[in-house]
Amino acid sequence: MWALTNNTPFKAERTWVRDKNGAEVWLVAVKGAFSIAPDGSIQLAEEQEEVNIAPKFRGDPQSASLLYDTDLPHTKKNTDILIEGHAYAPHGQPVTKVDVTLKVADIKKTLRVIGDRMWQKSLLGVSLSRPQPFVKIPLTYERAFGGTDQTSKNPKHHGWEPRNPVGRGFATKADHLIGKPAPNIEDTSSLIGNWKLKSYPAGFGPIAGNWSPRVELAGTYDKNWEKTRQPLLAEDFNESYYQCAPKDQQAKGYLKGEELFELYNMTPAGVLKFRLPRISIGFTTHFDDNTTEEHRAVLHTVIVKPDLPKVVMVWHTNLECHHKVLKLLNTTIRVKRRILQSEEEKPSNAWQLV
């Protein structure tokens, strides 16, 4: 009962969830990893990545950013596009700043990466030191604007940046910043000039479910909810909550494959270009009353790892079957379209997927 027959070279996992009104939904996620060659061609990676059944953080969830969200959310209306990597100085020559850019489909996003700086005491109160040259800086929220300030002995004067509580540069008073590091990663439209100019927490990675602006989409859990809906999701729960990418990294609808990705200054070579493989995955779910359901997947997440370089794709299907939970036997997964690189015998990872 509730088994998977996975006839693909990818990893797969399943679970049951309840929708907003408590109906049971059968979820299956399929996760494929692909190596990117220097010429931009794509091959199936020798090592596939496991499906994440729960969020994974870079460290303690209380003090570290989200590395991967669950691959089994109830639904996503758009493809989340994420990057896990570094900013690189062009040609390996140290610089004090560099712009990094992601381009795909209707998305173009540029962030500025600046060398290490400190807040220092000055005639104007507090100012930034000159940035130090760098060759490589991680693109994490720990390096972006944010953080907490518990310097004051009075808890009433404590504060935090709800959009990025693990970052750097946030303070309730100017002198609390002296000797502290400034953000390395900034939005080019809101660069920090002084401590009062609060930059937008900038990054290419996933946003944790308890960070703003995502947490506001989770709905209202008050006394009225306790009386009328508990344990269901709140009446004003917004399904956009399941999207973990920053808003400007969510495709309009789902990517289909063959979209051109362009990454600038996120590899030692400076430019990484490739086309997403086009893959169609089908599912057949069998029930013990001799019925079956044919269903398809959507591409709900793309993670680019330019350091490797590699791209990871997560397909997802959800099947509403509230009254057939105990009748569901298994789901068979298959790749509906695949073409080998040639008719010659090749190793199993030498696929060209279209």
Q: What is the pLDDT of residues 248-290, one digit of tens each?
A: 999 999 999 999 999 999 999 999 999 999 999 999 999 999 9
Q: Which amino acid is at 222?
A: D
In a domain, 95, yes or no: yes
Same domain assignment for residues 65 and 96 = no
Listed residues 137, 163, 187: the one ending a domain: 187
- Non-local (6+) Cβ contacts of 9 within 8 A are 32, 44, 48, 335, 348, 349, 351
Q: Which amino acid is at 189?
A: S
Listed residues 136, 164, 187: the one ending a domain: 187
Q: Tell me how far apart the alpha carbons of residues 293 and 331 are, in angstroms, rounded to a whole number.
A: 9
Q: Tell me how far apart the alpha carbons of residues 190 and 211 are, in angstroms, rounded to a whole number.
A: 20
Domain of residue 115, residue span: 90-187
In a domain, 178, yes or no: yes
Band (pLDDT 50/70/90 cuts) for residue 294 is very high
In a domain, 11, yes or no: yes
In a domain, 41, yes or no: yes
What's the pLDDT score for residue 122?
86
Listed residues 187, 222, 249: the one ending a domain: 187
Domains contained in the chain, number: 2
Same domain assignment for residues 74 and 55 = yes
In a domain, 243, yes or no: no
- Per-residue pLDDT, averaged over 173-177, amounts to 90
In a domain, 298, yes or no: yes
Q: Which amino acid is at 66?
A: L
Same domain assignment for residues 50 and 100 = no
In a domain, 97, yes or no: yes
Which contacts qualify for 127-136: CB closer than 8 Å, 24 or more apart? 127/194, 128/182, 128/192, 130/96, 131/96, 131/97, 132/96, 133/89, 133/94, 133/95, 133/96, 134/89, 134/94, 134/95, 134/96, 135/88, 135/89, 135/92, 135/93, 135/94, 136/86, 136/87, 136/88, 136/89
pTM beyond cutoff 0.75: yes
pLDDT digits 0-9 by tens, 87-119: 999 999 999 999 999 999 999 999 999 999 999
In a domain, 258, yes or no: no
Which residue shows structure tokens 């009328």? 228
